[in-house]
Amino acid sequence: MKEKTFWVVAVVAALASAVSATTIHDEKIVCGNCGTENTVTVVGSSNQMDLPDLDWRPAEMMRSTLKFEVIECSKCHYCAFDLQEKPRSEAAKQIIASPMPGNTLADRFVRAAEIQAAEAASAGDDFEKKNAYFRAGHLFLRAAWCCDDANAPERAVAYRRAAAKNFEAVIALAVKGKEEIKPELLIMLCDIYRRAGDFENAKRMADEVLKYKSLPQRMAERQLELCREKKTDCHTLGEVRNVEPSTSIVIGKGEK
Ligand SMILES: [Zn+2]
């Protein structure tokens, strides 16, 4: 079955679940590249006790599950959201075969992002292309979050730019296919540009989102204020008007 991209914005009452902890367990996963069985830690459940950042980065406790999102094969060093997925293109296989640049969490996200970007460039149809660019964008964004946490601002900016490039490719393919573009994607891209110091593109995205009558529209108004003030630091949904303190938003990355 073909993989289909989804973009879910589920509004849930975070405070109701605030008392529950993150649960994790080990699973055996076979690497789609080399066939090695890896024991990996998987998140069973988690929750958000506060509002997410403006790029949808979740608040704690979900924020701390970032390290479980990308998996690296212990043998071939293939990195992916889904390690079982077989790499398809020669370009992706060449990246997997090349030495890992480092062993930080950001390095694993970047490696996984580069593999997906290579898959996107080689994909035969636009549907597969769009999904791979979408995953590459999310993986680069997560690499940037790791760099925010590690206080490596220059690398964070570089990865935000890479994320933006991949999300722009998603948008271009959606436009080509006459598909609806969700404001949640545009407002996320707005924050990615702003935090990379690219206020011009951040404003372009915010102006686009202002056409929608929804929560992202109010986020866009806040983004335009931040752009006027030339702010590149982290801001949260809590600063957006008319957001209930008990509201949290969960964004999916894709499904089979
Ligand atoms: Zn492997």
207 CA to centre of ligand 1 in angstroms: 44
103 CA to centre of ligand 1 in angstroms: 16
Evaluate if pTM is beyond 0.75: yes
Cis omega (within 30 of 0) for bond into 61: yes
57 pLDDT band, cuts 50/70/90, is very high
**Would you call 209 helix, strand, or coil by DSSP?**
helix
Rounded mean pLDDT, 147-151: 97
170 CA to centre of ligand 1 in angstroms: 28
Q: How many CB atoms lie within 10 A of CB 15?
A: 16
37 CA to centre of ligand 1 in angstroms: 8
What is the full DSSP assignment across 114-151? HHHHHHHHH-SSHHHHHHHHHHHHHHHHHHHHHHHHTT
Q: Please say if the pLDDT value at position 168 is more than 60.
A: yes
- Per the model's pLDDT, the better-predicted residue between 250 and 167 turns out to be 167
80 CA to centre of ligand 1 in angstroms: 11
Q: Please say if the pLDDT value at position 123 is more than 50.
A: yes
58 CA to centre of ligand 1 in angstroms: 30
2 pLDDT band, cuts 50/70/90, is very low
Q: In angstroms, how far is CA 236 from the centroid of its own chain?
A: 16
71 CA to centre of ligand 1 in angstroms: 10
150 CA to centre of ligand 1 in angstroms: 27
> Which of 10, 75, 99, 74 minimizes the C-alpha distance to 47?
10
109 CA to centre of ligand 1 in angstroms: 16
158 CA to centre of ligand 1 in angstroms: 28
The pLDDT value recorded for residue 244 is: 59
The pLDDT value recorded for residue 242 is: 74
182 CA to centre of ligand 1 in angstroms: 35
Q: CA angle 82-188-115, nearest 5°?
A: 30
Q: Please say if the pLDDT value at position 19 is more than 60.
A: no
Q: Are 54 and 38 in contact (CB under 8 A)?
A: no
31 CA to centre of ligand 1 in angstroms: 5
74 CA to centre of ligand 1 in angstroms: 7
254 CA to centre of ligand 1 in angstroms: 22
What is the full DSSP assignment across 41-67? EEEEE--BSSPPBTT-PPPTBGGGGGG
Packing angle between helix 105-122 and helix 126-149, nearest 10 degrees?
160
38 CA to centre of ligand 1 in angstroms: 8
Q: Are 209 and 221 in contact (CB under 8 A)?
A: no
33 CA to centre of ligand 1 in angstroms: 5
- Per the model's pLDDT, the better-predicted residue between 9 and 205 turns out to be 205
Q: Are 250 and 69 in contact (CB under 8 A)?
A: no
Could you tell me which residues are beta bridge partners of residue 38? 29
